[in-house]
Amino acid sequence: MIVLGIDIGGSATKGALVDTETGQLVSERIRHKSDKSKKPKEIVKDIHKIVKELNYNGIIGAGFPGIVKNGVIGTSANLHKDWIGANLAKMIEDETGNKAFILNDADAAGLAEFRFGSEEAHKANVVLFLTLGTGIGSALFVEGKMLQNTELGHLLLGKYEVEEHASAAVKTREKLTWKQWAERFNEGLKMYEYLFSPDLFILGGGISSHFDEYSNYFTIKTKIIPAKLQNLAGIVGAAVAAQEKLQ
Ligand code: BGC
């Protein structure tokens, strides 16, 4: 089935049509810029633009960078505070006339990676997927079942949350070398390892394509691998989740 997947992020809202059987994009990926000052209504308008640009009519899946329950946004660390309490599923339905399913962006990406990414994820009992962008997102799988809204990027390490210390955006902003960044992120990994004893870590987001440049600096005992789907995982997972929940 072909479904529109949307990934709402700290710097852009992206969307594309996804073949939910194969996990492949079957259209171009459209991108509309956003930042913390952009209000929910404007972002929903951007989603409507994507729908029109792709000439689409059908169910929509969207990943949002915060806690999501029953289509309603619970937290918004890197986007406008007006999102908190907003019923995004209803807003998209009212604006576009299409039914929508919303989930956390990292849960969407983790779902796609689990379904279409590395085989290794299926062999492990506990898998912790982490995705790095403006923030740090997490998706925790136990025997293939995902615990939603884990929000592990907000775990405090001393004074700072892991994402305030070691997200991809922080690396860029503070001009950190791979070594400097990896040593910081390693502190978070060590804590996740201690708390959850995962069998496998999967690292997603744009940064995962540079895995060989920094993976030597990690000192955890647990195996860590880069995600296969990289930046597209959020779009693909949102489309797959919508197909499963709304069809
Ligand atoms: C948000 C998470 C999100 C992550 C990655 C964090 O700031 O709280 O919900 O998954 O950023 O976008």
Q: Residue 230 above 90 pLDDT?
A: no
Q: Does residue 147 sit in the same domain as residue 217?
A: yes
Whether the full predicted model's pTM is greater than 0.75, yes or no, is yes
Which of the listed residues 8, 73, 134, 231 should we mutate to test ligand 1's pocket, taking the one with most ligand atoms within 8 A of CB? 134
112 domain-assigned:
no
Closest Cα partner for 139 from 201, 206, 209? Answer: 201
- For residue 14 the two structure tokens come to 């992206």
- Provide the number of structural domains found in the chain: 2
Q: Give the ligand 1 atom nearest the CA of 132.
A: 5
Cα-to-centroid distance, 145 and ligand 1 (Å)? 20
Q: What is the mean pLDDT of residues 221-226?
A: 98
Q: Give the ligand 1 atom nearest the CA of 64.
A: 9
Q: Does residue 44 sit in the same domain as residue 8?
A: yes
Q: Residue 127 above 90 pLDDT?
A: yes
151 domain-assigned:
yes
113 domain-assigned:
no
200 DSSP β-pair partners: 127, 223
List the domain range (segments joined by +) for residue 184.
Answer: 119-227
Q: Does residue 102 sit in the same domain as residue 124?
A: no
Q: Does residue 222 sit in the same domain as residue 239?
A: no
Would you state the pLDDT for residue 231?
87
- Please state, in angstroms and rounded to a whole number, the distance separating the CA atoms of residues 101 and 83: 16
Would you state the pLDDT for residue 47?
98
Q: What is the mean pLDDT of residues 60-72?
A: 98
Cα-to-centroid distance, 137 and ligand 1 (Å)? 5
Would you state the pLDDT for residue 82?
98
Q: Does residue 220 sit in the same domain as residue 238?
A: no
- Please state, in angstroms and rounded to a whole number, the distance separating the CA atoms of residues 116 and 25: 12
Cα-to-centroid distance, 90 and ligand 1 (Å)? 21
pLDDT band of 95, cuts 50, 70, 90: very high
Which of the listed residues 11, 34, 76, 105 should we mutate to test ligand 1's pocket, taking the one with most ligand atoms within 8 A of CB? 105
Would you state the pLDDT for residue 139?
98
Instruction: Give residue ranges with CB within 6 A of ligand 1.
Output: 65-66, 75, 77-78, 104-106, 133, 135-137, 151, 153, 163
Specify the 3-state DSSP secondary structure of 63.
strand
Would you state the pLDDT for residue 75?
98
% of the chain exceeding 90 in pLDDT: 98
The number of C-alpha atoms within 13 Å of 68 and in the hemisphere containing its C-beta is: 23
192: domain CATH number is 3.30.420.40
Cα-to-centroid distance, 4 and ligand 1 (Å)? 21
175 domain-assigned:
yes
Would you state the pLDDT for residue 7?
98
| Amino acid present at 81 | K
102 domain-assigned:
yes
Would you state the pLDDT for residue 42?
98
Q: Does residue 237 sit in the same domain as residue 221?
A: no
- Please state, in angstroms and rounded to a whole number, the distance separating the CA atoms of residues 218 and 50: 39
- For residue 63 the two structure tokens come to 């990943």
In the chain, which ranges are E strands?
A: 2-8, 12-19, 24-25, 30-33, 60-64, 68-69, 72-73, 100-104, 126-132, 136-142, 145-147, 156-157, 160-161, 200-204, 223-226
Cα-to-centroid distance, 76 and ligand 1 (Å)? 8
Q: Does residue 75 sit in the same domain as residue 129?
A: no
Q: Does residue 206 sit in the same domain as residue 123?
A: yes
Would you state the pLDDT for residue 202?
98
User: Buried b vs exposed e over 126-162: b needs ≥16 C-beta within 10 Å?
Assistant: ebbbbbbbbbbbbbbbeeeebebbbbbbebeeeeebb
Q: Residue 123 above 90 pLDDT?
A: yes
pLDDT band of 149, cuts 50, 70, 90: very high
